[in-house]
């Protein structure tokens, strides 16, 4: 068992807390700004980075008085400049500008660029000394050893934003890390949880994009449908928390109320519960080590009534076993797996590849 990857050094407590969002126009970015909007004066938006949704990026920059707005698409620079004409918002475009934005002196960088594209700017934020709200799991899947080594070198906290890892972070007993026996990630099972192998083989893009519980971007939603998302989260958990490969488990929990659990040697199992809404873990990461109000729906267990659990069916959903095997192989195996998955998801979304 390794030492905890999260050092638990409190973020600066001065207000406003300086915040940069990589992936501002995506699902996590929008939810982050929603939480921020409920806390006027507590956050200062240093930079917002988006891609091609210039209209929304400009609206966000205006609404939150961002110092800098960046589009990763160089061809959109003039459109962004025109959208922010008459404001004091600095504009820039291209990959080098995205990396520069990540280094812009924020206390916390919310890393929410989807896929391996988020690795370079997030590493740049680490090397600039910002705490990282990590919503990009590919940073750890593709380069986990390097990423966590750099975080340690630069004295940077990596605060997990994925609901499962955030849940583990909340119930992890840092005084008794050597007494952890299991870390249990929960999975909704996605839209095809009850489908047969034959039905899954004929799944359409439209069906795969209809997640039963969560509102996420298309790439993560497709990953959830194949349960590759949970496999990638297992790799992420391996780098974040003090557990061996064999101490990491996945349990299907269709209600998405219990977000993950930690089992200790004395038999105690601690769980974090909440509504399936990303604004809860986002709020926890933004305010850590304190807590702030989140506009997410309150959990009413009397309305939920029943919580159920199932083992993962490896025959219908082999992704988790595949991810576990890449962890055992080590070296570049997880990186190759992640790249292959990104290509496959893009092909499926463009209807050039069947689901199975």
The reported pLDDT for the residue numbered 2 is 37
pLDDT confidence band for 13 (50 / 70 / 90):
low
The reported pLDDT for the residue numbered 308 is 97
The reported pLDDT for the residue numbered 115 is 86
- C-beta of residue 223 within 8 angstroms of C-beta of residue 345: yes
CB atoms within 10 A of CB 255: 17
The reported pLDDT for the residue numbered 3 is 37
Residues belonging to the chain: 356
- Residues whose CB is less than 8 angstroms from the CB of residue 30 and which lie 6 or more positions away in sequence, other chains included: 24
The reported pLDDT for the residue numbered 4 is 44
The reported pLDDT for the residue numbered 12 is 55
d(CA 90, CA 47): 9
The reported pLDDT for the residue numbered 127 is 97
- Residues whose CB is less than 8 angstroms from the CB of residue 315 and which lie 6 or more positions away in sequence, other chains included: 197
- Would you list the DSSP string of 231-252? HHHHHHHHHHSS--GGGEEEEE
Average pLDDT over residues 41-50: 97
- C-beta of residue 138 within 8 angstroms of C-beta of residue 121: no
d(CA 64, CA 68): 11
pLDDT confidence band for 72 (50 / 70 / 90):
very high
Sheet-wide strand order for 68-71? 90-93, 68-71, 43-50, 17-22, 108-111, 131-134, 158-160
d(CA 183, CA 260): 8
295: its two tokens? 């506009």
Residue 1 has pLDDT above 70, yes or no: no
Q: What angle do CA 20, 21, 22 make, to 5 degrees?
A: 120
Instruction: Give the range among 2-16, 115-129, 220-234, 285-299 with minimum mean pLDDT.
Output: 2-16
- Residues whose CB is less than 8 angstroms from the CB of residue 343 and which lie 6 or more positions away in sequence, other chains included: none
Percent of the chain clearing pLDDT 70 (strictly above):
96
Mind listing the pLDDT tens digit for each residue in 123-158?
A: 999 999 999 999 999 899 999 999 999 999 999 999
User: Which residues are paired to 108 by β-bridges?
Assistant: 19, 131
Q: Nearest CA to 65 among 49, 98, 43, 32?
A: 43
Residue 75 has pLDDT above 50, yes or no: yes
Residue 170 has pLDDT above 50, yes or no: yes
Chain centroid to CA 6: 16
The reported pLDDT for the residue numbered 14 is 63
* Domain layout of the chain by residue ranges: 17-161, 165-276+296-349
Average pLDDT over residues 68-87: 97
Mind listing the pLDDT tens digit for each residue in 94-104?
A: 999 999 999 99
Three-class DSSP category at 91: strand
The reported pLDDT for the residue numbered 98 is 98
Superfamily of domain 17-161: NAD(P)-binding Rossmann-like Domain (3.40.50.720)
The reported pLDDT for the residue numbered 215 is 76
Residue 5 has pLDDT above 60, yes or no: no
pLDDT confidence band for 329 (50 / 70 / 90):
very high
- C-beta of residue 129 within 8 angstroms of C-beta of residue 322: no
Mean of the per-residue pLDDT values of the chain: 93
Mind listing the pLDDT tens digit for each residue in 190-204?
A: 899 999 999 988 889
- Would you list the DSSP string of 306-337? ----B---TTT-THHHHHHHHHHH-TTHHHHH
């Amino acid at each position: 068992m390794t030492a905890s990857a999260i050092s638990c050094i409190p973020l600066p407590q001065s207000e406003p807390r300086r915040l940069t969002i990589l992936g501002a126009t995506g699902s996590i970015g929008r939810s982050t700004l929603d939480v921020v909007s409920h806390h006027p004066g507590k956050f200062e938006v240093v930079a917002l980075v988006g891609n091609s949704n210039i209209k929304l990026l400009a609206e966000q920059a205006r609404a939150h008085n961002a110092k800098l707005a960046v589009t990763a698409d160089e061809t959109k620079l003039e459109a962004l400049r025109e959208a922010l004409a008459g404001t004091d918002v600095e504009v820039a475009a291209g990959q080098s500008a995205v990396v520069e934005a990540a280094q812009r002196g924020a206390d916390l960088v919310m890393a929410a660029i989807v896929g391996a594209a988020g690795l370079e700017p997030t590493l740049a934020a680490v090397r600039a000394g910002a705490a990282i709200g990590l919503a990009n799991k590919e940073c750890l899947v593709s380069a986990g050893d390097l990423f966590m080594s750099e975080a340690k070198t630069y004295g940077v906290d990596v605060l997990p934003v994925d609901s499962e890892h955030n849940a583990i972070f909340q119930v992890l007993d840092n005084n008794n890390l050597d007494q952890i026996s299991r870390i249990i990630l929960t999975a909704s099972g996605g839209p095809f949880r009850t489908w047969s192998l034959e039905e899954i083989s004929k799944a359409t893009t439209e069906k795969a994009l209809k997640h039963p519980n969560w509102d996420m971007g298309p790439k993560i939603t497709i990953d959830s449908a194949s349960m590759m998302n949970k496999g990638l989260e297992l790799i992420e958990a391996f780098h974040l928390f003090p557990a061996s490969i064999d101490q990491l488990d996945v349990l299907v929990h269709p209600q998405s109320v219990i977000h993950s659990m930690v089992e200790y040697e004395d038999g105690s199992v601690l769980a974090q519960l909440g509504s399936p809404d990303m604004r809860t873990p986002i709020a926890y990461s933004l305010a850590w080590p304190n807590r702030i109000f989140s506009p997410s729906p309150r959990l009413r267990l009397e309305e939920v009534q029943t919580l159920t659990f199932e083992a993962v069916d490896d025959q219908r959903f082999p992704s988790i076993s595949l991810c576990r095997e890449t962890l055992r192989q080590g070296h570049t195996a997880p990186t190759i797996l992640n790249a292959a998955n990104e290509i496959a998801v893009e092909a499926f979304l463009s209807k050039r590849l069947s689901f199975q």
